[in-house]
Amino acid sequence: MTPPVRTEEGGGHFGGRPPGALLSVRGLSKHYGGIQALDGVSLEIHAGQVHALVGANGAGKSTLVRILAGVETADEGEVSLGGRRVSISAPQDATKLGLSFIHQELNLVPKFTVLQNMALNYEGSRRLGLVDWRPVAARAGDVLAQLGADFPLDREVADLSVSQRWTVSLGRSLMRDARMVAMDEPTASFAADEAERLFAIVRDLAARGVAVLYISHRLDEVLDLSQDITVLRNGQLADRHRASDVDRQTLTRSIVGREVAEIERHEGSPDTVRDALMRIEGLVREPSVRGVTLDVRRGEILGIAGLVGAGRTELARLVFGAERAASGTMTLDGRRFEPKGPHEAIARGVALVPEERRSQGLLLKESLAFNVSLASSGQNRWRRGLPFLSAGKARAVAREMVERFAIKAHSVEADVESLSGGNQQKVVVSKYLRCQPRLLILDEPTVGVDVGARAELYEIIRARADAGTSVVMISSDFEEFAICDRVAVMREGRIETVVDGPHATKDTLTSLCYGTGAAGS
C-alpha cells in the first residue's frame, strides 16, 4: 500500500486526511447499571493516520475500545468498516475484520513463553490440526526484530519487565495483517528511549496505511503523534481537534472542562537538612540491585529516576519485603529493618503502591470497599480487642476515599474490575494511604491517571510529605519529579548520584540516566 502523501494542509506526520473513513462509529451508547458509560458517541478513523482518543478517567475511552474489540456489546449505535456496516459481537469478529487491540491490561499468559503468547489465536501455520511451530517462530522472530526486542522467544513472560510484556502484546497483534491497531496507554511504564522506539513503530504503521487509534494521558505524545484528536467527557463527545491546531493547555482544558495548573517545581525548604528515616547500605540482589546505598529523609519526596531495567522496581520490592536481599542492611528510625514480607513492612509503617495494580495491588472480583480496607482491615473492628470486622465501617471508609480521590464508581460495593484503569489506580493509592505509613513508596503512581486527577494526586503527595510522611516516587515520566525534594538516579542496579529538586529537570535526569551528564546539585 502506498503511504499517504505528506502535505502541510493535513498537519501531523502523515499528511492530509484521505477521502472516506476506514472505520466509522455512529451514535454508540452503553449502560452499566445506572452508569452511562457512552452516550451517543460518533467518530471516524482514517487509514494511514493516527487518531488519538483522550479523556479523563471514566470518560468512556476503554468502553469504546472494548466495544470495537467485541469484548462488550453496545446498547445503541453502529460501526462501519470501509463504508460497510459490520457486526462485532466477539473478539474473533474483530480479528477477522483486521482490527487489532492492545488493551491497558495486556492479558498475557505469564507461564507461557513469548512465542506461545504470540501464537495465541494465530492461524498462520497448521499441519494436521496442530501448530507448525517453525514458521510461527520465524514470523514471531521477524515481528520482534521490527520492534527492536532484545529478549528470546523461549523466555517466560512472567520473567519480563512491564515494557517487554507490552512489546510481546504488540507483537502478538502484528502477527496478522491489521487494518487498524488500537493502543490503550502504550507508554505508561516506558522510559524515554523505549517510548521513542514505540513512536517510530506507530509512525511506520501509519506510513504503511494502517489506521492507529492511540489512547494516552500523555498529552505531549498525543500532540506529536496524532493528526486527529477526539475528546470524550462523561461518556459524551466533548471536542474534536486537529493536532496541528491545538496546544497542550487547550487540550487539557478540553479534557477536564476547566483550567488545570501545570506541575510547579518544588524549590525545597530553607530549613536545615532533616535526618534520615531510612538508611539503605550496600543492598544487593543480583542481577537487578548491586550495592545500593541511599538515605530517605523524614518528610521529603525522594524521586528515583532510571531507565527500564535500572533496578528501580526491584529496589522498592526489597524495601517492602516482597523480595529478600542477598546482602546489605536497612534501618528504619535507627532500628534494623528486615521485613520477612509485606505484612511486616506495613506493620512497621512502610507501604508500596506497586507498578502493576491489577496483579499486585487489587483483588479484581472484590468490591471497592473491600479493596480500600485490604491493607488496614484491623481498623474496621467492631470494637477494640475483638476479631470481628464491621462491613459498615469498611463502606464508610470507602465512601470517604471515593469523595477524596474523585473515584468514579456507581457504588462502593461495585467490583473493582468494573472500574476504569485510572480509577483502579486511585483505589490502590487510597488503600495504602489509609495505613498512615511513615514511608510511602509509589511505583509509577500516575499510570492511567488523567491530567486533572494527576494534579490532585500531586497535591495529596505533597501534603503527606509536609505532614511528615517520607515519600519515594518511581516514575518513567521525568516531568513528575518536579514535585520532589531530591531525585536519585539509578543505573545498572546502582545509585549513580542524587540531584536536588531545583536541578532535577527532565534534560538533566535523562543525561544522567544515560551516563552522559553531570549532577547539578
CATH number for the domain harbouring residue 475 = 3.40.50.300
The sheet with strand 327-332 has its strands ordered as 289-297, 276-285, 327-332, 335-336
Contact 260, 253 (CB under 8 A): yes
Is residue 2, in this structure, part of any structural domain at all? no
Range from 258-272, 291-305, 430-444 that averages highest in pLDDT: 291-305
> pLDDT value at position 302?
97
The answer on 297 and 157 residing in a single domain is no
Write out the DSSP string of 489-502.
EEETTEEEEEEEGG
CA distance 359 to 120: 21
Is residue 6, in this structure, part of any structural domain at all? no
* Alpha helices (runs of H) in 284-420, residue ranges in sequence order: 312-320, 342-347, 368-372, 391-405
- 416-452 tens-digit pLDDT: 888 877 788 888 888 888 888 999 999 988 876 777 7
> How many CA atoms are closer than 13 Å to the CA of 33, on its beta-carbon side?
8
The answer on 131 and 228 residing in a single domain is no
> pLDDT value at position 521?
45
In the predicted model, is pLDDT for residue 281 greater than 60?
yes
In this prediction, residues 174-178 reach a mean pLDDT of 83
Tell me the C-alpha to C-alpha distance, in Å, between residue 457 and each of 100, 297, 336, 372. Answer: 33, 21, 32, 16
- Lookup result for grid cell 536497612: 330
Tell me what percent of the residues of the chain surpass a pLDDT of 90: 42
> pLDDT value at position 237?
94
Task: Quickly count: other Cβ atoms within 10 Å of residue 323's Cβ.
Answer: 15
The answer on 383 and 245 residing in a single domain is no
How confident is residue 479, by pLDDT bands cut at 50, 70 and 90? Answer: confident
State which of 260, 283, 317 marks the end of a domain.
Answer: 260
Contact 68, 203 (CB under 8 A): no
Is residue 302, in this structure, part of any structural domain at all? yes
In this prediction, residues 214-238 reach a mean pLDDT of 92
The answer on 442 and 431 residing in a single domain is no
State which of 435, 460, 493 marks the end of a domain.
Answer: 435
The answer on 194 and 82 residing in a single domain is yes
Query: How is residue 71 annotated by DSSP?
Result: S
Q: Which residues pair with 41 in a beta bridge?
A: 28
Mean of the per-residue pLDDT values for the chain?
Answer: 84
Average the pLDDT over each of 283-297, 332-346, 394-408 and give the range with the smallest value: 394-408
In this prediction, residues 173-185 reach a mean pLDDT of 87
CA distance 171 to 435: 40
Write out the DSSP string of 5-63.
PP-TTT-SSS-SPPSS-SEEEEEEEEEETTEEEEEEEEEEE-TTSEEEEEESTTSSHHH
Number of domains, the chain: 4
Contact 501, 265 (CB under 8 A): yes
Contact 420, 162 (CB under 8 A): no
Coil, helix or strand at residue 375: coil
**CA angle, corner 301, sides to 300 and 306, nearest 5?**
135
State which of 174, 208, 230 marks the end of a domain.
Answer: 174
- 11-60 tens-digit pLDDT: 333 334 445 799 999 999 998 877 788 999 999 999 999 999 998 777 88
The answer on 64 and 37 residing in a single domain is yes
The answer on 316 and 421 residing in a single domain is no
User: Comparing C-alpha atoms, which of 490, 408, 483 is closest to residue 449?
Assistant: 408
Is residue 244, in this structure, part of any structural domain at all? yes
Is residue 15, in this structure, part of any structural domain at all? no
- For residues 13 and 473, which has the higher predicted lDDT (pLDDT)? 473
The answer on 305 and 447 residing in a single domain is yes
β-pairing, 126-127 with 130-131?
antiparallel
Write out the DSSP string of 224-284.
HH-SEEEEEETTEEEEEEEGGG--HHHHHHHHHSS--PPPPPP---SSPPPPEEEEEEEEE
The answer on 466 and 400 residing in a single domain is no
Is residue 12, in this structure, part of any structural domain at all? no
The answer on 165 and 309 residing in a single domain is no
Task: Quickly count: other Cβ atoms within 10 Å of residue 356's Cβ.
Answer: 17
Is residue 207, in this structure, part of any structural domain at all? yes
The whole domain housing 168 covers 104-174
In this prediction, residues 204-233 reach a mean pLDDT of 92
What global pTM score does this model have?
Answer: 0.63
Q: Which residues pair with 32 in a beta bridge?
A: 35
The answer on 211 and 85 residing in a single domain is yes
How confident is residue 127, by pLDDT bands cut at 50, 70 and 90? Answer: low
The answer on 91 and 47 residing in a single domain is yes
CA distance 59 to 316: 32
User: Comparing C-alpha atoms, which of 182, 242, 173 is closest to residue 213?
Assistant: 182
- Beta carbons within 8 Å of 384's beta carbon, 6+ residues apart: none
> pLDDT value at position 12?
35
Is residue 55, in this structure, part of any structural domain at all? yes
- For residues 506 and 359, which has the higher predicted lDDT (pLDDT)? 506
In the predicted model, is pLDDT for residue 255 greater than 80?
yes
The sheet with strand 23-32 has its strands ordered as 35-45, 23-32, 76-81, 84-86
> pLDDT value at position 128?
58
Coil, helix or strand at residue 367: strand
